[in-house]
Amino acid sequence: MYTGNGSVNTMSRTRCRASGFTMIEIMIVVAIAGILATVAFPSYIALVDNNKAGSVADELSQSLFLARSAAIKAGAPVIMCASSNGESCSDQWADGWVAFVDEDRNGSMDAQEITVLTSSSDSAALQVSVENTAGASLESVQFNYRGAPSAALLATVTKGESSSSVSLSAFGKPRRHD
């Protein structure tokens, strides 16, 4: 090392030690991370399933409320039914649903009738069941001009082990249950 007065100080030579991690330390960290991931992954999947079921139940509750409001505003029946394409009714609520003003009161969706809302599901392994209070499966619910539904119902959304439900009272008020 140069001291500034023209001489070299040979006494200050020190041995440099390489910094970093050893292979053993890296292997221990990777093993711990693997164990934590193995423990956390099932909980993460359950959390994702619970959130998906809850969000679809929320959307169904909001759709019921909107269909009821549309019936009151239009002064005509509004039908909300399962629909896979948003243009006709089907029997699978998990594919989505549609609500329309049934102006001709024939109980089916016609081309000239006003569509109030459409909703489609993008989730595989999602199950949605809509039943009346007696437990019979419903393919649709109709709101009259006063907003009263054709039947009180319970809709259950299931994804994996998680489920969430929505009830609709005889007066047309939707309520979310967890």
The total of structural domains in the chain comes to: 1
pTM to 2 decimals?
A: 0.78
What is the residue range of 32's domain? Answer: 23-177
Beta-strand relationship, 96-101 and 115-120: antiparallel
144 pLDDT tier (thresholds 50, 70, 90): very high
105 lies in some domain: yes
The CA distance from 165 to 85, in Å, is 24
5 lies in some domain: no
Tell me how far apart the terminal alpha carbons of the chain are, to the nearest angstrom. 74
80 lies in some domain: yes
3 lies in some domain: no
* CATH code, 58: 3.55.40.10
14 lies in some domain: no
103 lies in some domain: yes
Return the closest-CA partner of residue 101 out of 93, 109, 91: 109
9 lies in some domain: no
- 3-state percent helix, strand, coil for the chain, nearest multiple of 5: 30, 30, 40
pLDDT single digits (tens) 88-143: 998 889 989 999 999 988 888 888 899 999 998 776 778 999 999 899 999 999 99
Cα-Cα-Cα-Cα dihedral sign, residues 106, 111, 113, 119: positive
